[in-house]
Structure 1
């Protein structure tokens, strides 16, 4: 009992010191949101740029008289088939798959912002490597390393944002973060088309690296912050945690086995949440369509309607649909009361109507009718970004939230937008008709709507406020500083930490 009182005294002492430091910190919750949004947008600008006609280009073609063109962009320079070209869109998944669980696990004991700094440094160097690549394999390897950079922040950003957002605006703040996906892709269409056409596709990658470099540096110098359920260990001298830490660090093998065992337990707990699993399955089907549409969309629209400025048109539709849909869906869920059943209801309804409008758009021969219907469809489709991630965060206990985001991200990529671009490439090579390929792809959205509809009827528990960590774990949260909690007055501070 005396030891417990001493620990509480030390917590109170350290907390007062940290509050004094935090009162002068520039990193407010809104600035934290801006930081993550900027990183997310740059990541997706890269995704959009590599799919444009200006950067991705067109394959070499030969006429009946054996007169061949050189093609353009990446596809022309490296003489890539549609299948190989589609692999470039999916190659980043290798790095993401390996790195995401590692970053999520390390975040329990390592300052997460240092992890982000390491990942973004790798991302920056990898993007430069894309610009310097000499063949298909060199650019493919660099795209894999780009996935490592994404892994460093994708599992940490959403939990940080959700914890520090105003309670009545949690989904809206998440929506703002995930809105950066369609906006980033859209800006990437403009950026890639402009830079690729005027300077060459390699310079598009060099420009991205320059823009990301300041955020990589900021990741190394930014002050550590508190995340619910995380260890971020700095052991109190003389406590039981110090004894455990010394014993644990005495053997590297033992430490590694302990971490693997903990990871296995976390995965088992995560997969036991049926609503979480169903939510991710729906997200996989949804992302299968989004990934292929983002990569092949400009080429498909050009192939069907033979319109100039395809990159611009498709970019405008995506950015408008992304902003209106993402913000609208997130605000609507907050107004409905942010609960898991309400989120799943919104997901199923919005995806169903999105499927109807996107499928119908490709049935018309008029470009203007297509643009209107496809825009409406994208508004419904992008309304899912806030709610789907709300479900992933709130169906698991706090200590599993980074891992839940990591596994969700890995799953939607490895089973969704990783296989879909090459598969649609194969489909297009077979049918040689972009309208048919687009109709088949759009129909997968009906599957996503059906999966989320099933989730509505499963029993669900919002575990956001669950405190799964024992006292020792909570005591270890002393080298990190909360954002909103720093405003809690005097005696309430200890209860906020404990």
Structure 2
């Protein structure tokens, strides 16, 4: 009886079904990344050739007259919110229902994306992009640990590979979606469409019964005072998300102290620190390729359908590469040492192929080498998260 009382998982929300829901949400996150990078949404300033013939300004850059620097800021503005909010959401998950936190975060995401479509200048859309990162942080910091907790041991890497496969798939779909909607209608409609597609998921986060992350205190215990979390006359309501009592400042200090201890513990983990530093470098490069790639293809190779071409290459190579990386790591035996070997080797070779690709003047040579480079780079998607 005790075990069944402590298991709040509703029968419908099995781990596999939750994996599917998480994959859809993750795909939508990255559809947004691809859409804002597409020529249909991102656009260009007015371009004039030597003969004086000019191409009209289009998209966000054209409407707001953004410099390339300002345009680049928009691509990474979400990182401000993501970096600030991720550790906060991860820490709050110890005292609040993680799925309520995901509901809160995705609500912010939906509001911010709708705000991007309604923006009127550089700063308004930049602030909305920062809020997009806050919303994404709640999901990214909590979904992966839940998958890692609930995946069968022999399929753990495959489950994570499936989840992270949504990164290239979503980005690629975003290129196509942004190119089609932005080109045929207006770039603002692309953002409003994303908000509508995401809307059911924050609602789901609020209405579904609490689900428990392993290693965290059961949600029921949040409703009773404890010596570590609460003082006399205090009660921490985890699922409701409020604090009653006369010593709220002490509760805040406890949260800050616990958060500081967690950060110190992570900083003393050499494998974690090395992994994070490497992943920063990886995302620095892949972020530049993913955001400026369609625009470079449009300008250098004069692709009329750069969004569709980059989207097609990315979705095929991304899915194949991510799944192959997960399967290879399982075959190699999923150890930290083997994960780092696969990560470093595939990333090094992938970077070489992508660099050489942009040195080719012919479009066919570029496509072949860039495809090989993306295949290798995306093979590493699951390894940092496993390590």
Q: Which consecutive unaligned segments of at least 5 residues does structure 1 have?
A: 1-12, 392-498
**CA shift digits 1:30-79 (9 cap, x unpaired):** 11111111111101000100111111111134678999765011100000
Distance change in 2, residues 1:270/1:292 (3 Å): same
Q: Compute the TM-score of the two structures, normalised by the length of structure 2.
A: 0.92
Is the 8 Å Cα contact of residues 127 and 142 (structure 1) preserved in structure 2?
A: yes
**CA shift digits 1:287-324 (9 cap, x unpaired):** 00111111000111222211221111111111111101
Question: CA separation in 1, counterparts of 2:264 and 2:228?
Answer: 28
Question: CA separation in 2, counterparts of 1:236 and 1:257?
Answer: 17
Residue in structure 2 matched with residue 45 of structure 1 by the alignment: 31
Distance change in 2, residues 1:312/1:49 (3 Å): same
Which region of structure 1 is more displaced relative to structure 2, 275-284 or 62-71?
62-71
Residues 1:15 and 2:15 aligned together = no
| Aligned partner (choices 162, 186, 209) of residue 172 of structure 2 | 186
Residue in structure 2 matched with residue 137 of structure 1 by the alignment: 123
TM alignment of 1:45-124, pairs within 5 A: 45-61=31-47, 70-124=56-110
1:363 deviates by 2.3
Which region of structure 1 is more displaced relative to structure 2, 55-64 or 173-182?
55-64
How large is the RMSD of aligned CA atoms in angstroms?
2.0
| Aligned partner (choices 297, 302, 326) of residue 301 of structure 1 | 297
| Aligned partner (choices 273, 277, 280) of residue 269 of structure 2 | 273
Q: Compute the TM-score of the two structures, normalised by the length of structure 1.
A: 0.72
Residue in structure 2 matched with residue 245 of structure 1 by the alignment: 230
Higher relative contact order at CA 8 Å, sep ≥6: structure 1 or structure 2?
1
Q: Which consecutive unaligned segments of at least 5 residues does structure 2 have?
A: 235-244
Distance change in 2, residues 1:70/1:370 (3 Å): closer
TM alignment of 1:273-292, pairs within 5 A: 273-292=269-288
Helix, strand or coil at the partner of 1:360: helix
**CA shift digits 1:316-356 (9 cap, x unpaired):** 11111110110000111111111111111111111121122
Is the 8 Å Cα contact of residues 97 and 212 (structure 2) preserved in structure 1?
A: no
Residue in structure 1 matched with residue 325 of structure 2 by the alignment: 329
1:17 deviates by 3.1
Question: CA separation in 2, counterparts of 1:18 and 1:182?
Answer: 38
| Aligned partner (choices 136, 139, 144) of residue 158 of structure 1 | 144
Residue in structure 2 matched with residue 352 of structure 1 by the alignment: 348
Is the 8 Å Cα contact of residues 229 and 254 (structure 2) preserved in structure 1?
A: no
**CA shift digits 1:105-153 (9 cap, x unpaired):** 1100100101111111111111111111111111111111111110111
1:281 deviates by 0.7
| Aligned partner (choices 197, 209, 226) of residue 223 of structure 1 | 209
Question: CA separation in 2, counterparts of 1:284 and 1:194?
Answer: 32
Residues 1:365 and 2:351 aligned together = no
Residue in structure 1 matched with residue 22 of structure 2 by the alignment: 36
